[in-house]
Structure 1
């Protein structure tokens, strides 16, 4: 499994717990701090809470306690501004996320004390705490439920232009706001949380093009899972070719390493990577003449083949240069082990001459099993694989001229493949494997482990 440890970014993905048996393409774990930044940006920084609290109207407040204990009424009390909002998150194991929002609410209205009417401004500290739980998973979506919403009021500061206000009015206001604000604020929090859920699901469930070869359809695979130290979920990654056919890939449950001091750990499964490689590495057969302009060891390869030709082969002598056709055989296979990634790929190497009368004369048909070293990097939110030739194993498939010993051809064929085929493969891989743009956070400062 390839692990992406990301520093300084927030990602909302998933981690398999021992009880889960979800098969998917990607898994990840997110720290509480990362989740807090995501929700703070979505709820506070983007103005979502202010937007849905704007214009909030409170019930009238009636009582005694003004100047000389005159009847006091506060009417038209409404929210003017949410000041200094702060948000914190606690992950509740097996339950979900505990969300706490603290803010100062600036209220304004009309105050009638006896026969004197004037404007009144109230500044009240509030702290709202609610548990957010995900339920009803279906087809990549979940519903969120806000439970146990608690609204606690702190200090209250009341300002009248005349200043004619007794201490008992503070008590009346505090009592009335304590009774009415929770019933007004908790439904707003529930609305905001559901809107944020829709936004976040929109980044998890996405169809991303892979150049012109096809698409990857990322989709939430299961309900989020929480522990005291991380929040996680799994993503399916359906790899589709142009035309809609899906490249299948099998997955098996696996655990990710601990977060330690990281914000996020993202795991890409080997089978998922193999499916994407099959989509990207679709190189058509390549035919060219065996000349030094094509690859540096062309002359040596021709000489080595010439020594293998039987003396009586009049059809293949005196014809120069040879022609070569390279054809991919089967699908690429990525192997992740011992902190190293390699790609295994089979290639058919046909060496032939074209007779003057037209027909092709097959000198050699070789099968080259390549082991390609993989360099992994992140660029523009994509996982980019760069390949270099590690080793080549040759086997003889057929020969129309009776060649049987090909041992001296391996170094020249390795040069041929390294200089002609590998650059083409790297060109195809250069567009990268698009990763889900989870929460809209760019992938930066990435530490990749295999």
Structure 2
């Protein structure tokens, strides 16, 4: 749908489009009205330039992000760094509670608190996502002992490619900051666990996210102009695709 009347000159034609994304079971997701028009820079050596607002990318990231929480035991067959993570947790448990934690089977529950949000900078895309990670022990009576609950604010870097008419994202963790939410074991400092939790998310959540992102999103053909060997670049908070 046209966002405004095309701007036509002797040198170029500028078309501003609104794009709605239909999501099965969720209806149509639209770029919010507050997402203003994009001023496309001079074409340079490109014949066509497509500009994408971060709001569109954020809709796509929301669609592809893992939605359901999941549990796994903290064991090496589920996560290669399980032993190191368990030992790191024991080091920050106060002495009077170490026996409880060391005797139980440690379980992990991971859920998404805030869905991914992309910010376009001059050097690429930075995606942030917030997850909650719970480490707990199940007691014999069915209750749980909450060893530790943390909020993990993860920074993701993205590499873009163009395959079969679609833009493909591959993301990797570039940073992780932990915030303590609660601990029955009276843990007070979680800073030493940041790298361990980053590795946990990298082995469990990230492969699912990348698998979903591998579907990619199609670049619409305008005036019959199909992308061939496009170049990705960023300016003023906008993803640009030139060809």
With normalisation by structure 2, the TM-score equals 0.88
Distance 1:253 1:247, change over 3 A: closer
User: Any idea what SS the aligned residue of 1:394 has?
Assistant: strand
TM-superposed deviation, 1:251: 1.2
Pairwise CA RMSD: 1.7
d(CA) in 2 for partners of 1:429, 1:340: 17
Q: Is the 8 A contact 1:348 1:366 kept in 2?
A: yes
Could you tell me which residue of structure 1 aligns to residue 103 of structure 2?
318
Could you tell me which residue of structure 2 aligns to residue 235 of structure 1?
17
TM superposition outliers: structure 1 runs of 4+ over 4 Å = none
Q: Is the 8 A contact 1:241 1:247 kept in 2?
A: no
> Structure 2, unaligned stretches of length 5 or more?
235-243
Task: Choose from 189, 208, 228 the match for 1:424.
Answer: 208
Could you tell me which residue of structure 1 aligns to residue 185 of structure 2?
401
What does residue range 277-288 of structure 1 map to in structure 2 within 5 Å?
277-288=61-72
TM-superposed deviation, 1:391: 0.6
What does residue range 364-443 of structure 1 map to in structure 2 within 5 Å?
364-443=148-227
- What do the CA deviations read for 1:81-110 (whole angstroms, capped 9, x no partner)? xxxxxxxxxxxxxxxxxxxxxxxxxxxxxx
> Structure 1, unaligned stretches of length 5 or more?
1-218
d(CA) in 2 for partners of 1:447, 1:408: 40
Q: Is the 8 A contact 2:6 2:14 kept in 1?
A: yes
What does residue range 140-151 of structure 1 map to in structure 2 within 5 Å?
none
What does residue range 149-160 of structure 1 map to in structure 2 within 5 Å?
none
User: Any idea what SS the aligned residue of 2:16 has?
Assistant: strand
Whose strand fraction is larger, Structure 1's or Structure 2's? Answer: 1
Q: Are 1:308 and 2:89 an aligned pair?
A: no
What does residue range 12-91 of structure 1 map to in structure 2 within 5 Å?
none
Aligned length: 231
Could you tell me which residue of structure 2 aligns to residue 25 of structure 1?
none
Q: Is the 8 A contact 1:324 1:352 kept in 2?
A: yes
Q: Is the 8 A contact 2:145 2:184 kept in 1?
A: yes
TM-superposed deviation, 1:256: 1.1
TM-superposed deviation, 1:327: 0.6
TM-superposed deviation, 1:390: 0.2
d(CA) in 1 for partners of 2:134, 2:12: 54
Q: Is the 8 A contact 1:251 1:272 kept in 2?
A: no
Task: Choose from 252, 261, 268 the match for 2:45.
Answer: 261
Q: Is the 8 A contact 2:22 2:28 kept in 1?
A: yes
Q: Are 1:289 and 2:73 an aligned pair?
A: yes
